[in-house]
Amino acid sequence: MPVKIRLQRHGSKKRPFYFIVIADGRSPRDGKFIQKLGTYNPLTVPATIQLDRQKSLEWLNKGAQPTDTVRRILSFKGVLYLKHLLRGVKLGLFDDATAMEKFTAWSAEHDSQIKKRQEDAYRNKRSRRPMPGRQPERRNEGESGNVA
């Protein structure tokens, strides 16, 4: 039974919201699934992702294949990096404490980048919004720069 980690669409038309699920590869996209790992909301800036890292890692180690989009989500949340580090521990390249230290350093840097993106998005949103009580400047036809 080929097991996939994939997105299951919910939400109304043009307002997508996804569950990240473990499902049999033969079942339909929004059909039966084995386990729910988290959620993904692409409408927020940056996209909101809730994910159970431990369950995802267990399923990846069992051989579940993520779809392309879910692979990017897992990479973004650090699950694939953690799997990579734990593989290095198994091979004896470094110990478990070093792997966790590397992962926490990566996670802290990643969280700071996400926070920066959120602040930039908030600033851009505020700058595009007109100030209350002020009318946007309008040009007269004579001021357009085109002289007839």
Q: What is the pLDDT of residues 104-115, one digit of tens each?
A: 999 999 999 989
- pLDDT exceeds 80 at position 117: yes
- 3-class DSSP state of 112: helix
Between 32 and 144, name the one with better pLDDT: 32
2-6, 9-13, 42-46, 144-148: the lowest-pLDDT one: 144-148
**Cα atoms in the Cβ-side hemisphere of radius 13 Å centred on 22:** 18
- pLDDT exceeds 60 at position 9: yes
pLDDT of residue 45: 77
Q: Which helix (H) or strand (E) holds 64?
A: none
pLDDT of residue 141: 61
pLDDT of residue 113: 92
Between 130 and 106, name the one with better pLDDT: 106
Q: And the tokens for 81?
A: 């990096």
Q: And the tokens for 77?
A: 């949340």
Query: For residues 68-84, b (16+ Cβ closer than 10 Å) or e, as one string?
Result: eebeebbebbbbbbbee
pLDDT of residue 124: 87
Asked if residue 2 has a cis previous peptide bond (ω within 30° of 0), the answer is no
- pLDDT exceeds 70 at position 76: yes
pLDDT of residue 125: 82
Taking the model in full, what pTM does it have?
A: 0.79
Please report the domains of the chain, with CATH numbers, ordered by start residue.
3-129 (3.30.1320.10)
